[in-house]
Structure 1
Amino acid sequence: MYIIIMGAGRIGTLVARMLESEGHDVAIIEMNRERAREISEYVSGLVIEGDATDQKVLENANIKNADAFAALTGRDDANILACILAKHLNPKIMTILRITDPGKKKIFEEVKELKRYFDIVVSPEDIAANYIFRTLVTPGFDRVLLPREGAEIIQFQVNEDCEVAGKPIKELNLPKDSLIIAVYDEKGNLVIPSGDTVIPKKGQVIIFAKNSALQDVKKIMEKKREE
């Protein structure tokens, strides 16, 4: 894919480097001359000094042939304008809008007239707040938040002391709003589980669960065997 990123701040730079590490072509548009010069040392793709709300700048970045455009600056108004312009110049492009004010996020997701300009709306501040909140409420495991779905993908380490070790999944009595989606044994071998899959005595279990089910899942997965 060819992706254009607006903004070479911490988020934009990190996303660009991650995309390049996966073999994608990336161009970055950055208004600050010094920052643009600095970032060119960290990425191999095109770095353009300019304003992404300017049509000529987007055209110089080859917007018409881009697969995606991500507006990731800390300025909501500029991000919004740039996404609208990107869609105007390339109606097939996928646009990703960063919103720093979580309160505005729902508006862009729900108002039909706006949704056609913004394919994905993200608020790093909202995600971070949710992550901290969920970690405080249900600490103790690795997690990936899915805020829109009100769910998480969580990882549990399993060892011989765990009551679930050696049991088939169908006997665990997990809550209905949870599902084991992957099991890794001690050697790292992946199993896509069924109800008959036995939890290894040492390994990892990946579970998809709604927030309302997390406490019950945690109790079951972390319960120790009685001596």
Structure 2
Amino acid sequence: MYVVVMGCGRVGSALSASLERLGHEVAVIDKDAQAFRRLGPDFRGRQVVGQGFHREVLIEAGAEKADAFAAVSSGDNSNIISARVARETFGIDRVVARIYDAKRAAVYERLGIPTVATVPWSTDRLMRMLLPDGVASAWREPNGTVAILPLPLHEDWVGHPVRALEQTAGCRVAFIVRFGTGVLPHADTIVQHEDTIYVAAVSGTVSEVTAAASAPPQEG
């Protein structure tokens, strides 16, 4: 693949080097020529000085033949403008933008531009390392409304259908990992030993969902 990376900070330089190690052709854009020193002496890709949302800069970086574009500079506005130009002007299908403001990320997702909301993503990663299993989400919608979380179940849930869990916990079972294989459940799918249950829940109810699942099911 030919990949254009806009931004040569710590993330951009690491991403570019990783892509090149995997055999991809990479062009890096940054407004500061000194930033390219982060790439190291062995980097063979193209280095372009300029603003990543300027058409002539993107042309110099080879955007017209690019298969993918990543906007990972330190500015939300620059990232989203660059991503939109890459998608709408140059027709690049694989486009992603790093965004610090999670509220903005939700808007851009609705515009069809995938984003990585840095602060919520990092927060969830840290929570998964610090807190008990199931408390932190495995994935969160950019605007924070819905979360997917792995749910540790009380052992008495084994043998009960997914329907009962959803009704009790007030969630939706999104998928189940069973013996290393993903399973898309239906209402009558029976919970088995060793299942890892992933549920979709409104973020504000995550604690209630976790509490309901960690208690034995109510009979009747």
Alpha-carbon separation, structure 2, partners of 1:211 and 1:205 = 17
Offset from partner CA, 1:12-56 (integer Å, 9 cap, x none): 34555676798865433234445424425787x734142235544
Matches within 5 A, 1:144-183: 144-148=139-143, 150-158=145-153, 162-174=155-167, 178-183=171-176
Alpha-carbon separation, structure 1, partners of 2:184 and 2:84 = 41
Which residue identity is paired with 1:152?
Answer: A
Is the CA contact 2:27–2:46 (under 8 Å) kept in the aligned structure 1? yes
State the match for 1:202 in structure 2: 194
State the match for 1:124 in structure 2: 118
Q: CA RMSD in A?
A: 4.2
Alpha-carbon separation, structure 1, partners of 2:77 and 2:181 = 47
Matches within 5 A, 1:62-77: 62-76=62-76
Query: Which of 164, 169, 189 matches 2:181?
Result: 189
Which moved further from structure 2: 46-55 or 205-214? 46-55
Alpha-carbon separation, structure 1, partners of 2:48 and 2:63 = 15
Flag the 1:145–1:85 CA change in 2: closer, same or farther, 3 A. Answer: closer
Is the CA contact 1:6–1:29 (under 8 Å) kept in the aligned structure 2? yes
5+ unaligned residues in a row in structure 2: which ranges? Answer: none
State the match for 1:9 in structure 2: 9
State, as a whole percentage, how many aligned pairs show the same letter. Answer: 22
Is the CA contact 2:163–2:188 (under 8 Å) kept in the aligned structure 1? yes
Alpha-carbon separation, structure 1, partners of 2:22 and 2:145 = 29
Q: Do residues 48 (structure 1) and 47 (structure 2) align?
A: yes
Alpha-carbon separation, structure 2, partners of 1:54 and 1:211 = 39
Flag the 1:203–1:46 CA change in 2: closer, same or farther, 3 A. Answer: same
5+ unaligned residues in a row in structure 1: which ranges? Answer: none
State the match for 1:27 in structure 2: 27
Offset from partner CA, 1:45-77 (integer Å, 9 cap, x none): 734142235544321221112244332111345
Per the TM alignment, residue 121 of structure 1 is displaced from its structure 2 partner at its CA by 5.4
Flag the 1:41–1:222 CA change in 2: closer, same or farther, 3 A. Answer: farther
Is the CA contact 2:27–2:61 (under 8 Å) kept in the aligned structure 1? yes
Alpha-carbon separation, structure 2, partners of 1:58 and 1:189 = 42
